[in-house]
Amino acid sequence: MFLKIFNSIAFMKTKKRQLLLLFVVLVSSLLAGAQTQQQVTMVKGFIRDAVTKRPMPLVTVMFKDGKGVSSDENGTYSIATRNMKFTSIIFSYVGYTSVTQKIKPGVEQSIDVDLEMNSSMKEVVIKKGRGRYRNKNNPAVELIDRVIENKSKNRISAYDYVQYQEYEKIALSLANKPEKLMKNKLFRSFKFIMENVDTSTVPGKSLLPIYIEENIADKYYRKDPYAQKERVLGEKKVNYGDFLDNAGISSYIKSLYADINIYDNNIPLLQQQFLSPIADMGPAFYRYYIRDTTELDGIKLIRLYFTPKNPNDLIFRGTMFVTLDGNYSIQKIEMTISKKANVNWTRELQIKQDFEKGPDGRYHVIKSDMFTEFALVNNSSGSMYGERLVSYKDIRINQPAPDSIYKGKDLVKLFDETAPVDDSFWVSNRHTPLSNVEAKAYYNIDSLKNTKKFKTFMTVITALFTGYIVLGDYEIGNTNTFYSFNPVEGFRLRLGGRTTPKFSQRMYFDNYLAFGFRDQRFKYGLGATYSFNNKSIYSFPLHYLRVGYQYEMKIPGQELQFVQEDNFLLSFKRGKNDKWLYNRVIKADYVREFGKNITTTLGFKRIEQEPAGAITYVKPQTTDSIRNITTTEFSTELRWAPGEQFYQGKNFRIPIINKYPIFKLRYIAGVKGLFNGEYAYHNFNLYAEKRFYMSQLGFTDVTTEGGYIFGQVPFSLLTAHRANQSFGYQLNSYNMMNFLEFVSDKYYAVNFDVHFNGFFLNKVPLLRRLKLREVASAKLLWGSVRDENNPAKNPQVFKFLPETYTLDNGPYVEVSVGLANIFKLIRLDLIKRLTYLDHPDITTWGLRTRVRFEF
């Protein structure tokens, strides 16, 4: 433009030309100066996934041939430059097609972008293992090796002292298409909760919050001597009242959403062990690709994409940012699991972790967010969404806390558990505010539990899942025992129940009455329990005294866990089921549970045993049978389960098995002459169990047990080894052994139950689609009977039954192989008995099943 002006000036007269030229020069100089000071190209906008419409953080935004920035966690970005040569801007992200947009230099403008996954990345996901990928001479693998080498110094445990405040939020929501959720017959009865639906978090779906829990705690760590302490400042969770055990729900959810430490080799999630992308064995199971580099706070970062070599394995895929500052720390990581991963009931799992640079230059996690979608049926529109958000602040490194904290209890609650923490505390101390929908969920659930329709609905659900029908202060059950049958009693009817905490927080009563139509005898039981801590006798910590009187039948050696012998399903037995005892029992137990998961039990028991069925009490040199025997005994038991978690049911606890061991030591003393007791003996028993995780190979449950009985006793007081003649697979029983087949007064046993979690079948075409999981077991039992308790050597003790033996000829051994996760529920084992094959009425091969809900 100025060139045209000068050409026009050239044809003017000299004086006019000079004045006009001077004016143009002055104006152009002013404009140039203004442009030098004011011209800046600024671009702002929002980036989201083209399909899910979710915001995309960490997208690289850069001027072509220039520097760039990354979008924040909300998908927004802002980039500026004074260089007027830049006329286009590029958006790039791992696995997505880069987008280039034209820009106008020198002005502020807004550009929103939707990124689409590129076809080459889809091919990588689908055709893993077929490419020319190599670990050798691969820069990405060399980088991950550096990360692995530096893991020890990047862990939080590398410091001598660490303290921080942790905020945790756990939320569960039912999800469906909005129109289906509104038409659901169940929810139509509770219209007020339908007014609190989240329609923005997941596009195309409405989320109805059903559970939310929050915790704030100050945590302290000391390396030497080791100490890890937690001081809880506040807890808050929805409360469904007496229908559900809120503490049990919390424990179960936390077992699914365990703490995530990316620097650990294995990450426990959904009751499985996932291999970390920076595990020591990572290069053997992962593929790594360097995508690009960026810069943050003067430190260069490499964006590294990782994906499983086998999509069926318990492996992640995603993106991590690695610092190139010599520490090779993780600055940010986002990962998910493959749709083909051998995990049940899980449609989606996403993990995001943000790290912050500390004063020493290392990065530590400040936010961890895990998002999961669960569904019973893959192609259904309904599902459940779960989220666990953990954030950290006020992180102090190598600053010791007062000694009183390290010397105190591991867990201290600094609030009154009997009263809710004030709302003002949460408003002031939450690291992240709740959404309006989440905040209202507390009030809605509190209102819901008081409605008549909901109480009726929960009463039905409780009866179906727990076996108890609630009738005010009394509940009838267990419904599974109302009807059963066995060869001695024939058809058996039973009706019983117990009081609930509504009746009294101190006193609990239970009773039942049963009748056998073949033996024409009534069986019954009465019990009373006093709670010393004014809490339910079924909730932690236990502290109660229980007394009871019972007349009942029992199979020797049957110590079933979580179920009763008169359960209807256990009525079906293989082989002969004719070895029974009538027991008349008076007993008292004092139980005390301590905070370190230590439980002590002191007991008294008087038993009158009357043989029934094929059992008889006859001494070797006579033919006269003895009608019954009487024993009086005192017992004590110490149980230690460090780190134990459990789900509290209505009448039992289901342990949530983790890496920690469980130990039990029991001593029983039989007293002769006290309350007509006929035998003096001492019975010692030691039991231990532990789960050993083997990373991608699965895990192995190991149990070991030993016992010794001092004194002369009849065979019914010896250890009758746990046999199983049902068609179900029992973990702690010998599934190919008959009832009362083996007895011992000293024994040792070890069991191995191995779960490979599909490690081998995941690599077999076609079969891997079924998501089957391999299992194997081995059970070995050594034992013997001393001469004083052997009727062949001592005529003063009762003769063994014809089908009862000792283990003097070596160990009893049975092994099995099988498939688990059939239809996501069933385990099927093929069992082989390897020893004592000459015994009558035994089976050496067998198929046994077990049903279990697991991820």
Task: Express each pLDDT in 236-289 by its tens digit.
Answer: 998 887 777 777 778 778 878 889 999 999 999 988 899 999 999 999 999 999
- Nearest Cα residue to 786 out of 716, 720, 836, 711: 711
Q: How far apart are CA 162 and CA 336, in angstroms?
A: 29
pLDDT on residue 562: 38
Alpha helices in 359-489, H assignment, sequence order: 403-407, 423-429, 436-448, 452-466
CB 71 within 8 A of CB 81: no
CB 331 within 8 A of CB 322: yes
* Structure-token match 């009183």, residue found: 404
For residue 110, what are the β-bridge partners?
44
The pair of three-digit structure tokens given for residue 785, joined into one six-digit string: 């009977």
Q: How far apart are CA 809 and CA 763, in angstroms?
A: 43
CB 603 within 8 A of CB 634: yes
- Nearest Cα residue to 187 out of 442, 379, 448: 448
DSSP summary character for residue 435: P
Task: Express each pLDDT in 58-109 by its tens digit.
Answer: 788 888 777 778 787 678 999 988 888 888 899 887 557 889 999 988 899 9
pLDDT on residue 186: 61
Residues of the chain below pLDDT 50: 1-37, 119-130, 560-563
pTM to 2 decimal places: 0.79
* Structure-token match 């052994």, residue found: 737
Cα distances (angstroms) measured from residue 121 to each of 94, 100, 311: 9, 19, 14
Strand ranges (E), 272-420: 272-275, 286-296, 299-308, 316-323, 330-337, 346-357, 363-374, 383-397, 411-413
Q: How far apart are CA 254 and CA 232, in angstroms?
A: 16
Q: How far apart are CA 547 and CA 609, in angstroms?
A: 19
Q: How far apart are CA 333 and CA 246, in angstroms?
A: 33
Cα distances (angstroms) measured from residue 128 to each of 136, 348, 367: 17, 20, 31
Cα distances (angstroms) measured from residue 243 to each of 236, 468, 501, 540: 18, 11, 12, 17
Cβ-Cβ contacts under 8 Å for 493 (sequence gap 6 or more): 482, 483, 514, 515, 517
pLDDT on residue 55: 82
pLDDT on residue 179: 60
Q: How far apart are CA 836 and CA 806, in angstroms?
A: 10
DSSP summary character for residue 624: P
pLDDT on residue 724: 92
The pair of three-digit structure tokens given for residue 206, joined into one six-digit string: 């409405």
CB 316 within 8 A of CB 264: no
For residue 734, what are the β-bridge partners?
723
pLDDT on residue 26: 34
- Nearest Cα residue to 353 out of 386, 315, 325, 391: 391
End-to-end CA, the chain: 72
